[in-house]
Structure 1
Amino acid sequence: MNKIKNSSMFFLWAGAAISITEIYTGGMIAPLGIKKGLIAILIGHIIGTLFLAFGGYISFKGNKNAMDKVTDSFGGVGSKLVSILNVLQLIGWSAIMIIQGARTISSQVKIPTSMAIVVVGGIIFLWSILFNNYTKKVNDISVIILIVLCILLFLEIHSGGMVVKGGQSISLTTAIEITIAMPVSWLPVIGDYTKDGKSGKGVFISSFFGYFIGSILMYALGLYISFFTGKDIIAFLSEKGIIASLIVLLATVTTTFIDVYSAVISSKQIYEYKNKNLVTLIYCAVSILLAFVFPMENYQNFLLLIGSVFVPVYTVVSVDYIFKRKCTININFIAIITAILGVLIYNYFNNNNLGVPTIFTFLTVAAIYYIFTFFMKKSLSVVE
């Protein structure tokens, strides 16, 4: 990939954040009310996006994509395991984006949802294979248009009721956690792009503010729609004509092509391939097929599952980067065991509603991994 300017990096990650999925997630926070909801959104984005931008910075400094940096900590075999999980979650994300985009577009232009799924998936495929050489400027312009359209959509929100219904609730900590989980879900992806940035400082700042601004806008939009109209997000957008249609189509494309492209990049850790476009086509086809059957009612659980896996993984990567260490064997068992413990810790805190799982998991995993490697670094061939 050619070098990405800071402005394009900003719009790349703003585009990744501007999606119907983030609007949908913002709508989940509505039972908290506007004030507490916005506080949760702000806190969650500060934590999650700092983690995300640091992950991108690490890849830039090492001039390595996301999974290559994982190899530096987990070893070649260990990184294959992480890469498999990453490809699966990226295909899952692509399917979710295609479903939500297709449902809204289907209701707008009066075509079957199945047809809309295929159309949206096809456009994503074309955008994915053209991004490297042709669509950076088009992507920048598309994101600018998206931001303007989203601001216009705020003006379309009129109070008509509240989304809070009997038995429906969400805690402040859960709201913060699902806000953190969204930027964290991009951790195994961001390095595929930031490694081609212009400077470390530029990469960190542009990716942070691009995602931070775009994602807060989306979460707030979802919060306002659900709280003030009492309507389902897709139902609301379906009533808003051409503005909503353009938002959904552009947002779906500018977000999902990043998932597909990075799934292709991550696959290099798993198997050798010569034709990148063919692999892109296969992953788009699989995402389209999955979109027909994905259980959207489990969306929140899917989002938290990603956090439970990649927060521990990138905590290990961050610790090794900070202490300038690199694994020189095929598999770092201490890294894998620590990451598995991190998954269990995350789920324990999440299932028992104890604080903010991401923060506790990060601190606990960092401490465990540092202590284990401090005493066992020679046998593990982890060198400083």
Structure 2
Amino acid sequence: MSETVRTSVPAGDAPITLTEPPPRTLGLRDTLGLWANLGISLLLPVAAAYVIVADRPLVATLGAIVVGAVIGSILLGLGAAAGAREGVPAMVLLRGLLGRRVSYLPTAFNLVQCVGWAAFEILIIAEAASRALDAPRWPFVLAGGALATLMALRPLGVVRLLARYAVWAALAAIVYLFVEVLSEPLPAVTEGGTASFWTAADIVIALPVSWFPLAADYTRHVRRGRTAFAGAAGGYALAAIALFTLGVLALAAYGRAGLDVVDALLAVPLGLVAVLVLLAVEVDEAFANIYSTAVSAQNVVARLDRRVLAVLVGAVATLLALAFDLTAYEPFLFLIGAVFVPLVGVFVVAYYLLPRGAWDVSDTAPARLSLLLPWAAGFIAYQLTLPTYFAGPGAGWTAWWTERQTDLGIDPANGWSASLVSLAVAAVLTALVSLPAALRARRRAGIR
């Protein structure tokens, strides 16, 4: 098997299966470039319509963006650092939290969300490209899906290209769009938005946290945990702040909402060129989801060939983007995101309480069923704070949780951050459950 790997995989790239050790070839520049690129997405300025704090000065919205990006990116960085320290992918990393077999539960959730987000990213790329070039959408779906799949075959080579070239092209496009937007008057935005600072910050927090279940897939190749933390947290935070701010300023300057932010950016001189650059960079998000789907599946069967899996996943994601209205699937993806938010709190507390070297990611990692309790409690807290919104057939989910809010005297317009409430509940309960075992492990390791 080792001879096959050496002849079929370029030196220094990701191993084919989970049975080979990952090369530690990524430094700070590579990590920073990767996560800055993953943070550069047209989804962020499009989502800016939902982070505007209603009836407040623009500075309140910008403050919510910064606070949300910093909180979410720190959590992302903590997961990235753990991946570098343990040298394993994200779902394998969860063996130390839940045990090998119980880790299949978050793995299943992650497979569904990665395929869904890959398809959604391909659709976003194709939709924006078709509008920018006034052309049919389907050729861009095929091109975006094919390119993202090819990128997933050589992930570390792609990471280096992103860090060396793509991030600079994207930065130039963003700076140009900022200059053009800031040249316009910026009146207060009076339509849309959210009712409170913390609900606005909550939307921003959710974006970097959504990458937590994928972070270690890439940072297992980083040389040091500190490098992984700085690259992931710093790169994503800077990109998220820039893109959300660009979207908010475009809304203020042009009075547009939703996907019309893209139309507003296209209206500026040379806006077409800048948007096309950002669309090209957007492919990296579809690539990351395709690759992470393949790597996540290896947590269940370690000898699966990630290249074959990537081709299959890329084909499925492309077909989904061609055949379905994925906007109807979006709330389900947000629901899965709400599942992972409390898991982040559980993981961070459990992992960093233990001494270095005590995290068991082996095939014999024992089940820790007690940690399912804080995970479930955090998810319930999330839904009681802000139920995931469904329309049509799924509306019963939203209605049921809204009724539970009424039963408990929780104001549906409470203005709280569902992510922070969920994280706090999960983290506190995890500390209560894990602290005795962590103290025993520290005593055995000679750590006070």
Please indicate, yes or no, whether the TM-score normalized by the shorter chain is above 0.5. yes
Q: Which residue of 2 aligns with 1:227?
A: 252
* Residues 277-297 of structure 1: CA deviation (Å, up to 9, x unaligned): 221111112222222424436
Q: Which residue of 2 aligns with 1:195?
A: 220
Structure 1 range deviating more: 184-193 or 167-176:
167-176
Q: Which residue of 2 aligns with 1:37?
A: 61
Q: Which residue of 2 aligns with 1:380?
A: none
CA pair 354-375 structure 1, distance change in 2 beyond 3 A: farther
Q: Does 1:55 align with 2:79?
A: yes
The percentage of counterpart residues that share the same residue type is 23
Per the TM alignment, residue 15 of structure 1 is displaced from its structure 2 partner at its CA by 0.3
Q: Which of 9, 28, 33 matches 1:11?
A: 33
Q: Which of 45, 68, 77 matches 1:23?
A: 45
Per the TM alignment, residue 14 of structure 1 is displaced from its structure 2 partner at its CA by 0.1
Structure 1 range deviating more: 146-155 or 237-246:
237-246
Q: Which residue of 1 aligns with 2:126?
A: 102
Structure 1 range deviating more: 353-362 or 308-317:
353-362
CA pair 236-284 structure 1, distance change in 2 beyond 3 A: farther
Structure with a larger share of its residues in helix: 1
- The 3-state SS of whatever aligns with 1:269 is coil
Q: Does 1:241 align with 2:277?
A: no
Per the TM alignment, residue 146 of structure 1 is displaced from its structure 2 partner at its CA by 0.2
CA distance in 2, matches of 1:218, 1:290: 27
Paired AA for residue 386 in structure 2: N
Structure 1 range deviating more: 210-219 or 238-247:
238-247
- The 3-state SS of whatever aligns with 2:99 is helix
Paired AA for residue 346 in structure 1: Y
CA pair 112-162 structure 1, distance change in 2 beyond 3 A: farther
- Point out where structure 1 has 5 or more consecutive residues left out of the alignment: 378-382
Q: Which of 415, 426, 446 matches 1:365?
A: 426
Matches within 5 A, 1:177-326: 177-231=202-256, 232-239=260-267, 240-250=271-281, 252-272=282-302, 274-292=304-322, 293-296=324-327, 299=330, 301=331, 304-324=334-354, 326=359
- The 3-state SS of whatever aligns with 1:77 is coil
* Residue pair 1:40, 1:175 contacting (<8 A) in 2 also: yes
Q: Which residue of 2 aligns with 1:112?
A: 136
CA distance in 2, matches of 1:216, 1:376: 39
CA pair 304-145 structure 1, distance change in 2 beyond 3 A: same
CA pair 265-291 structure 1, distance change in 2 beyond 3 A: same
CA distance in 1, matches of 2:295, 2:75: 21
- The 3-state SS of whatever aligns with 1:132 is helix
Q: Which residue of 1 aligns with 2:97?
A: 73
Q: Which of 368, 372, 378 matches 1:332?
A: 368
CA pair 49-160 structure 1, distance change in 2 beyond 3 A: closer
- The 3-state SS of whatever aligns with 1:30 is coil
Matches within 5 A, 1:370-381: 370-373=431-434
Structure 1 range deviating more: 84-93 or 31-40:
31-40
* Residue pair 1:178, 1:304 contacting (<8 A) in 2 also: no
Give the paired residue count. Answer: 377
- TM-score, normalised on structure 1? 0.89
* Residues 88-136 of structure 1: CA deviation (Å, up to 9, x unaligned): 1112221221121111111222321122111111111122223324661
Structure 1 range deviating more: 289-298 or 58-67:
289-298
Structure 1 range deviating more: 329-338 or 81-90:
329-338
Per the TM alignment, residue 330 of structure 1 is displaced from its structure 2 partner at its CA by 4.8
CA pair 230-297 structure 1, distance change in 2 beyond 3 A: farther
Paired AA for residue 208 in structure 1: A
Paired AA for residue 366 in structure 1: A
Higher relative contact order (CA 8 A, sep 6+): 1
Per the TM alignment, residue 54 of structure 1 is displaced from its structure 2 partner at its CA by 0.8
Paired AA for residue 299 in structure 2: Q
CA distance in 2, matches of 1:62, 1:321: 11
Structure 1 range deviating more: 321-330 or 125-134:
321-330
CA pair 248-237 structure 1, distance change in 2 beyond 3 A: farther
Q: Which has the larger radius of gyration?
A: 2
* Residue pair 1:75, 1:329 contacting (<8 A) in 2 also: yes
- The 3-state SS of whatever aligns with 2:180 is coil
CA pair 25-140 structure 1, distance change in 2 beyond 3 A: farther
- Point out where structure 2 has 5 or more consecutive residues left out of the alignment: 1-13, 15-22, 388-411, 439-443
* Residue pair 2:36, 2:235 contacting (<8 A) in 1 also: yes
CA pair 4-181 structure 1, distance change in 2 beyond 3 A: same
Q: Which residue of 1 aligns with 2:391?
A: none
- The 3-state SS of whatever aligns with 1:196 is coil
- The 3-state SS of whatever aligns with 1:4 is coil
* Residues 121-179 of structure 1: CA deviation (Å, up to 9, x unaligned): 111112222332466135431111101111101223234877643x7644322111000
